[in-house]
């Protein structure tokens, strides 16, 4: 056990990668390039959820549903029924 003046050394190296939301947004755009059936529904949070990457590349497959998450989910369900692969994107604060 280290003394009060010593610092403990970690056995693990911390490597910082992309933030989860950044990886999410970039991956959606990558998937959109591979599959034309992928669509994105967003609840007016595209700058926070990083779906802006998808929206810029595929504006015809990006649906901004405004601040209406329940409606967004219904839109996504309808798109799925029509054969699309929807990603409904929002978030909620946690405590």
- The dihedral region occupied by 50, where left means phi > 0, alpha psi between -120 and 50, and beta the remainder, is left
Q: Give the predicted TM-score (pTM) of the model.
A: 0.79
Give residue-wise pLDDT tens across range 21-77.
999 999 999 999 999 999 999 999 999 999 999 999 999 999 999 999 999 999 999
Q: Is 22 a catalytic residue?
A: no
- Give residue 66's domain range: 20-89
Read off the pLDDT band of 94 (50, 70, 90): low
Does some domain include residue 7? no
What secondary structure does DSSP assign to 20-51, as a single string?
Answer: HHHHHHHHHHHHHHH-TTEEEEESS-HHHHTT
Q: What is the torsion angle, in degrees rounded to the nearest 10, for the CA atoms of residue 77, residue 82, residue 84 and residue 86? A: -10
Q: Which of 6, 30, 34, 69 is catalytic?
A: 69
* Helix spans in 50-95 (H): 52-57, 69-81
Instruction: Tell me how many domains the chain contains.
Output: 1
Does some domain include residue 54? yes
Does some domain include residue 94? no
């Amino acid at each position: 056990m280290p003394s009060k003046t010593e610092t403990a050394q970690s056995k693990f190296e911390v490597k910082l990668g992309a933030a989860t939301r950044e990886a999410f947004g970039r991956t959606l755009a990558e998937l959109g390039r591979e599959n034309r059936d992928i669509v994105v529904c967003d609840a007016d949070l595209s700058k926070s959820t990083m779906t802006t990457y998808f929206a810029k590349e595929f504006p015809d497959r990006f649906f901004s549903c405004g601040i209406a998450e329940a409606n967004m989910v219904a839109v996504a369900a309808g798109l799925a029924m029509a054969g699309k692969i929807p990603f409904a994107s929002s978030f909620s604060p946690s405590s």
